[in-house]
Chain A
Amino acid sequence: MVGARDTASVLAARADARAQGSNVSDWMPCLPAATSPFVPDGVDPSALVWAETVAPGGYTHKVVARGTRLRLEDVTGDACAHVLVFNALEPWERLNVADTQKIPWQAYLGAGHPLLSGEGRVLATVVADTSAHHDAFCGTSSDEWNVVKYGDAAPQGPSPSGRALFTLAGVKHGLTPRDLPPSVSFFQGVRVEDDGALAWQGTAGPGTYVDLVAEMPLIVLVANVPHPLDPRTDYVVGPLRVHAWRSTPSGPSDEHHGASPERERAYLNTTDYLEARGL
């Protein structure tokens, strides 16, 4: 006996363990995904392939098929979804933030924005956005940053760094720190002033979401940690709700597909690559 729990024998310990299986948490994956209590409006539950609420300071990761639509939702207005995406087939092809800003001639992420790789292709597209408060300049927090700001950065501590969580998420797909490029983040905005100063914009409020469509098979890494420039001295981050469902990749009938000559050629390159691979 340990307190009120009988775990003195294997059978008793097994019974004790099994009695926990129906417990619920505010942050947990929901399996099968179709049983999610938070199915997005208009989505057939049977099409869901991922339903999860990521804890504050937590991370998640998954390999998703081409055409998967991924919704990230900031339930409380305090989430900050740091995201990295990789070509699941050749993961050295991965998010390239410089090309993602430069090629669309636009520094701020929003609806229709492609997330480009360094190979001249689209990994994913932002297809819906009710927040418009995002950032592609500051990346995620390093251990050094969080130690200075909060006194600790360890994944098991009260103020994990985004890089520490990306490191863990990545290694579960065979990725090492060399495979981690600069990331983007959603739900806490930053704007560049005339002199280059990075101005904190912060949240758009609770209940906003961003939808990404996977334009090829992707490894998706998500770390839910405060934005590095969050002015609060405390480590404050809300739960991040994640849903994904089977949908369709971008095609010529989508407005963003031909929104600019650069983007159109990016989708052409992507399709060219996938068709040659038989996908």
Chain B
Amino acid sequence: MSTETVEAIRTTVPVGAVYAPDSRLDWSEALVPGDVVLDERVAPNAPWSAVVRAGDVLTIVDVGGNQSADCLMFNADDTSERYSVPDTLTWQGNAYVREGTVLRSGLGRPLMTVVGNEIDRQDTIGGACSKESNTLRYGHHTAYQHGCRENFLAEASRHGLTSRDLVSNLNWFMNVPVEADGALGIVDGLSAPGRRVAIRADMDVLVIVSNCPQMNNPCNEFNPTPLRMIVTRNEDAVR
């Protein structure tokens, strides 16, 4: 999880890019008041997961700006209940995620609620990148590039989950407009270094995040940067 630089070894592995040394990073702080119960840094290209307890708030900091944080959520007590894009969109009658959006499961129940948001709108249509879909989108020369689906599978496997448990996801800090004729795609982001989103757990939720390594579209400004994950607990908040 550390982003501290270690002495680089010589390797023949074609690893993905990381941010340019002169990138502006703003680590920011939690978006809501409360005691910090978790504070971790997610390296560029890496996965992350944690269980966020009911009532606790997860702040995700877009440290370098326009870094897509691909995100899946599961009921921590029964992972067959999980985030559902269509249920979330249907209940709110809108295709974009904003402050107040209730992130629902396939059973229609609230998993988490967006309680703070410093971006105009967040995406949950664009899905995750993968080694497989990269071959369609950009060509077969990308077949050995890392992808969010790899991160999701690796992190999910640590919780006993498999590819059957992966569904369409959220993309914090990514921008996917739908135009009048249905044209849709990932375009330049609306975020900036230090911008945040805060999501409150409405039950105990397993959150899995992929710090997106995609280098073929603007979902991370072609400059993969770290994320900061802060969980806060406010005993005064209504549970």
A96-B127, A107-B178, A182-B85 are known contacts. Are A266 and B168 too (CB-CB below 8 A)? no
B93 lies within 8 A of A197 (CB)? yes
Nearest Cβ on chain A to B139's Cβ, whole angstroms: 7
Q: How far is the CA of A198 from the CA of B121 in the complex (A)?
A: 15
| Chain B residues whose CB sits within 8 angstroms of the CB of A120 once the complex forms | 130-136
Asked if B24 is at the interface of the complex by the 8 Å CB criterion, the answer is no
Q: How far is the CA of A140 from the CA of B131 in the complex (A)?
A: 29
Nearest Cβ on chain B to A208's Cβ, whole angstroms: 18
Asked if A269 is at the interface of the complex by the 8 Å CB criterion, the answer is yes
Asked if A101 is at the interface of the complex by the 8 Å CB criterion, the answer is yes
Q: How far is the CA of A176 from the CA of B78 in the complex (A)?
A: 14
1/0 contact string of B87-101 vs chain A (CB within 8 Å): 101110111100000
1/0 contact string of A88-124 vs chain B (CB within 8 Å): 0000100011110111011110000000101111000
A105-B185, A138-B90, A197-B94 are known contacts. Are A98 and B164 too (CB-CB below 8 A)? no
Nearest Cβ on chain B to A185's Cβ, whole angstroms: 10
Asked if B20 is at the interface of the complex by the 8 Å CB criterion, the answer is no
A178 lies within 8 A of B93 (CB)? no
Asked if A252 is at the interface of the complex by the 8 Å CB criterion, the answer is no
Q: Determine the residue in chain A with the shortest Cβ distance to B163.
A: A92
| Chain B residues whose CB sits within 8 angstroms of the CB of A138 once the complex forms | 86, 89-90
Q: How far is the CA of A97 from the CA of B185 in the complex (A)?
A: 14
B95 lies within 8 A of A137 (CB)? yes
| Chain B residues whose CB sits within 8 angstroms of the CB of A266 once the complex forms | 136
Which listed residue, A97, A116, A144, touches B108 by the CB 8 Å rule?
Answer: A144
In the complex, number of A-B residue pairs with CB atoms less than 8 Å apart: 144
Identify whether the interface residues of B are mostly helix, strand, loop, or mixed.
loop
Q: How far is the CA of A102 from the CA of B148 in the complex (A)?
A: 15
A143-B108, A196-B94 are known contacts. Are A179 and B164 too (CB-CB below 8 A)? yes
B96 lies within 8 A of A196 (CB)? yes
Asked if A145 is at the interface of the complex by the 8 Å CB criterion, the answer is yes
Asked if B125 is at the interface of the complex by the 8 Å CB criterion, the answer is yes
Asked if A6 is at the interface of the complex by the 8 Å CB criterion, the answer is no
Asked if A177 is at the interface of the complex by the 8 Å CB criterion, the answer is yes
A118-B133, A182-B84, A196-B94 are known contacts. Are A265 and B140 too (CB-CB below 8 A)? yes
Q: How far is the CA of A119 from the CA of B143 in the complex (A)?
A: 12
Asked if B166 is at the interface of the complex by the 8 Å CB criterion, the answer is yes
Cβ-closest 7 pairs across A and B: A98-B127, A139-B86, A144-B108, A120-B132, A108-B182, A142-B108, A196-B96
Query: Which residue numbers of B lie inside 8 Å of A, CB to CB?
Result: 80, 84-87, 89-91, 93-96, 106-109, 121, 125-128, 130-137, 139-140, 149, 162-169, 176, 178, 180, 182-186
Q: What are 12 of the A-B contact pairs (CB < 8 Å)?
A: A97-B86, A102-B126, A102-B127, A107-B182, A119-B132, A120-B135, A137-B95, A144-B107, A182-B85, A195-B96, A228-B90, A262-B136
Query: Which residue numbers of A lie inside 8 Å of B, CB to CB?
Result: 92, 96-99, 101-103, 105-108, 116, 118-121, 137-140, 142-145, 163, 176-183, 191-192, 194-198, 228-229, 261-263, 265-266, 269
Q: Could you list 14 further interchain pairs (A-B, Cβ under 8 angstroms) beyond the known A182-B167, A192-B178, A198-B95?
A: A92-B164, A102-B126, A116-B136, A118-B130, A137-B90, A142-B107, A144-B107, A144-B108, A144-B109, A145-B108, A182-B85, A192-B95, A196-B178, A228-B86
